Amino acid sequence: MEDTLNRKLPPDLDKLQMLGRLVSGITHEINTPMHYLEHNLTFLKAAFNDLMRLQEHCCEVLQKIENGEKLDPGAWQELASLKTEVEPDYLQTEIGKTIEQSIEGIDMVSSIVLALKDFSHQSQREFSMTDINKCVETACTISRHEWKKVADMKLDLAGDLPFLFCSRDEIHQVLLNLVVNSAHAIAEKKDAGHYDRGVILVKTLSLGDRVEIRVEDDGAGIAEENKSRIFAADFTTKKAGAGTGFGLSLVRHIVENRHHGEITFTSKSGTGTVFTVVLPHRQTVSNNGGTEL
């Protein structure tokens, strides 16, 4: 398999292909909160202008009172009319909501941009001490548009998980492939009318001298006749244009050949699938670019 991958899949090509497929969704994820921000800022600008008019009129009335001037009833009526027009009580409530919503939108855009930066970083696949939990969060953020309409994402990340000596770039690819596959399996089951929404669970565990990553979904599952072929290069059950056929074969190559780990799965057609990746802690980079324990 390694020879097939090296011949057909130049370094970083799968990563670029995956990023290319995700770009339109990522763009939408950024454009949506930016659209809300534009409307929110327009509202805040108008609200600010109205409140300034009310404040200026109040200041004029206050100045007259301080100067000892007698105010005619018309001045009070004018102030009351302006207050009714501006609706300060309404603005006080809505401005607070608008600011809170805008901050959430900015946080969302920021998290997407940071995750995209983390994923697209030019690492040349070097091995370094890596926060696996952060890799999980990055992969789930980058792929959010793939799963948000069909599934709830649940993370169960071990708080005691040690940093792992691995290729962060390649672990991102592994996680993205598994999460996106789960989203597609759930979408397939949803489209068949079996439920309205599925669940994807990504869990990390510390196993002494190893780290376990588990990606579980309650999607369509893997048909019995396909189980022996899912890791084969060029095998895919997706429609034309929906996959490269290198997804799971590359995942196994990264896990087993590059990181000396293991990947297994359990699946029942119509019920769901669990992929389990186990990676060792201590590895050293060898001369041929692989790893040795």
Burial 193-231 (b: 16+ CB within 10 A, else e): eeeeebbbbbbbbeeeeebbbbbbbbbbbbeeeeeeebb
Do 205 and 284 have their domain in common?
yes
Q: Is residue 189 part of a domain?
A: yes
Place of tokens 């292909």: 17
pLDDT in tens, 223-258: 999 999 999 876 666 654 454 334 899 899 999 999
Of 110, 142, 168, which marks where a domain is finished?
A: 110
Q: Average pLDDT of 191-199?
A: 94
* Domains: count for the chain: 2
pTM: 0.70
Could you give the CA distance from residue 138 to residue 135 in angstroms, rounded to a whole number?
Answer: 5
Do 135 and 255 have their domain in common?
yes
Q: Is residue 224 part of a domain?
A: yes
Going by the DSSP 8-state scheme, the letter that residue 151 receives in this structure is E
> Is pLDDT of 285 > 90?
no
Q: Measured in whole angstroms, how far is the alpha carbon of residue 39 from the centre of its chain?
A: 24
Domain membership of residue 55 as a residue range: 32-110
Do 169 and 286 have their domain in common?
yes
What is the enclosing helix (H) or strand (E) of 203? strand 198-206
Q: Is residue 66 part of a domain?
A: yes
List CB contacts of 183: < 8 A, sequence separation 6 or more.
Answer: 143, 146, 147, 150, 151, 200, 217
Q: What is the CATH number of the domain that holds 248?
A: 3.30.565.10
Specify the pLDDT at position 72. Answer: 83
Do 162 and 269 have their domain in common?
yes
At residue 121 the predicted structure's pLDDT band, cuts being 50, 70 and 90, is: low
Q: Is residue 94 part of a domain?
A: yes
Do 204 and 90 have their domain in common?
no
Do 152 and 248 have their domain in common?
yes
Q: Is residue 258 part of a domain?
A: yes
What is the enclosing helix (H) or strand (E) of 210? strand 210-217
pLDDT in tens, 56-95: 999 988 898 888 888 888 888 888 999 999 999 999 999 9
Could you give the CA distance from residue 169 to residue 18 in angstroms, rounded to a whole number?
Answer: 13
Do 101 and 160 have their domain in common?
no
